[in-house]
Amino acid sequence: MNTARKSLMLSMSCLLLAACASTGDTAQARSSGWERDEGYISAVERVAKINGAQVHWVNPPYRRKDD
């Protein structure tokens, strides 16, 4: 019984952490005066392409919007 309870608590903790990780920070960043730094992204991808590498953005860079 104790093992089943520990397994349940571990499973619930994992689900909770997964839910927190997908709350949509990018949507919040877009609405709060931030935008993707497309200039920096394209520069990094251009250099990577020249060197034969691929870039996969996990957390793309953001910069403040110019009002």
Q: Is the pTM of this model over 0.75?
A: no
Q: Please say whether the beta carbons of 65 and 33 come within 8 A.
A: yes
State how far the Cα of 29 lies from the Cα of 35, in Å rounded to an integer.
7
Task: Say how far residue 58 (Cα) sits from the centre of its chain.
Answer: 5
Do the domain assignments include residue 63?
Answer: yes
Q: Which domain holds residue 43?
A: 34-67
Over the Cα atoms of the chain, what is R_g? Answer: 19
Compute the C-alpha angle 12/14/16, nearest 5°.
Answer: 70
Q: From the first residue on, what is the mean pLDDT of each consecutive set of 10 residues in the chain (67 residues)? A: 75 68 56 88 96 95 85
The verdict on residue 7 lying in a domain is: no
**Per the structure block, which two tokens stand in for 51?**
């060197």
Q: What is the pLDDT of residue 41?
A: 96
The reply to whether 21 falls in a domain is no
Q: Choose among 59, 62, 67: nearest CA to 30.
A: 62
| 51 within domain boundaries | yes
Domain count, the chain: 1
